Amino acid sequence: MTGALVIGAGPAGLMAAGELARAGHRVVVAEAKPSVGRKFLMAGKSGLNLTKAEEFGAFLAAYGAAAPNLRPMLAEFGPEAVQAWARDLGQDLFTGTTGRVFPRAMKASPLLRAWLNQLRDAGVDIRTRWSWAGWDAGYVFDTPEGVQRLTPDVTVLACGGASWARLGSDGAWAKHLDPNDIAAFRPANMGVLVEWSDHMARHFGRPVKGVALGAGSQRSRGEFVISASGIEGGGIYEVSAALRSGAPLVLDLLPDMTEAQIADRLNKARGRDSLQNRLRKALKLDPVKQALLMEFGRPLPDHPAKPLKALPIRLSGMRPMDEAISTAGGLRFEALDEGLMIRHRPGVFAAGEMLDWEAPTGGYLLTACLSTGRWAGRHAAAYQGKAAAF
């Protein structure tokens, strides 16, 4: 075949396919799973967080060490552009109190349906159950019709990371590339394991709100949920990179009060009340926060301001990579040129979670997948146009 090939039909791959089609190229999208956007749909089950409406500098900072590499892509297609793109696909959006942006429908399926219709109208040919098996006189695919080979003029790889294998992100693509170009996969946005005492069982499934989490230099004001095996949720995901590196987890149960203010309120509440009643009455400490304090702060001093502000949480490990929301590691930016083309594979570009970057949930992950897919698609289209001129 001539034209363009995209491997992977997640957000990055679909965005790249759209850019290639708009540039006038014939596009085939090969997807290993029976349907497209499976991880995208799963992420939308609890409300599709498209992006986050905040100042660009703060938004970019969420990408940590990868921010300089991602800056040009996010500057071209950042939070405002993502919202405009979704509205163009017929989605009415709203912004929550924390700046997170969602479709009013909350689900991912209406957006995905409109997006796929747009791509099909543009002539994009999406082939499911096409699993990339490597290179051999072109791209080799295992398909229901047997082994197939394609010889595109230009390719965008959007194969995902190495988490949620059942949804298609298993990192299997790494064996087809130079191992020196790939940073080892590590779990990101993952929960942590805690060996709870028996008295915590009644709190399983309860959210913990209005707290601050700290690990190393990372801080979060997000909430989390206590599960039977540990802690899950956006708050813990925001500090997961530091936890993965071995930093201890510290919880501030009253982040809007100083230690002195806490001590003062407890002193004024002294009397016949027990410490537990003073925590409840003077500090409005809810039962789940009290339980955490008793779990990790004992023996409690009579004035427990310090453990309330810096409660050390004893972890027994991290959730495994296949249960993580995303992964760190992947194709190194040093192996790519400014257009996201693999330096020693001319005409082969890469995008999305298969690149070596990580970011917390809250709209950052999806925005970077969309923006890198768009960037790779545009540069691939330009490269193909230049190649055809010779």
CATH code for the domain of 372: 3.50.50.60
What is the model's pLDDT at position 390?
Answer: 29
Q: What angle do CA 31, 136, 335 make, to 5 degrees?
A: 75
Contact predicate 219/212, CB 8 Å:
yes
Enter the tokens of residue 228.
């039977």
Q: What is the DSSP string of 183-202?
A: EEEEEES--EE----GGGGG
Q: Which helix (H) or strand (E) holds 94?
A: strand 93-95
Of 292, 318, 344, the residue at which a domain comes to its end is 318
First to last CA, the chain: 18
What is the model's pLDDT at position 272?
Answer: 67
162 and 263, same domain (yes or no): no
196 and 182, same domain (yes or no): no
343 and 278, same domain (yes or no): no
Tell me if residue 178 falls in helix, strand or coil.
coil
164 and 48, same domain (yes or no): yes
Q: Give the residue numbers spanning the domain of 353.
A: 4-186+326-388
206 and 294, same domain (yes or no): yes
Number of domains within the chain: 2
Of 264, 297, 318, the residue at which a domain comes to its end is 318
Question: Tokens 């995901």 belong to which residue?
Answer: 237
Of 318, 338, 361, the residue at which a domain comes to its end is 318
- 351 sits in the region (left: phi over 0; alpha: psi -120 to 50; else beta) called beta
What is the model's pLDDT at position 123?
Answer: 97
265 and 334, same domain (yes or no): no
List, for the chain, all residue ranges whose pLDDT scores fall below the cut of 70: 1-2, 271-272, 386-390
What is the model's pLDDT at position 245?
Answer: 94
Contact predicate 336/350, CB 8 Å:
yes
What is the model's pLDDT at position 333?
Answer: 98
What is the model's pLDDT at position 387?
Answer: 53
84 and 178, same domain (yes or no): yes
30 and 164, same domain (yes or no): yes
What is the model's pLDDT at position 389?
Answer: 37
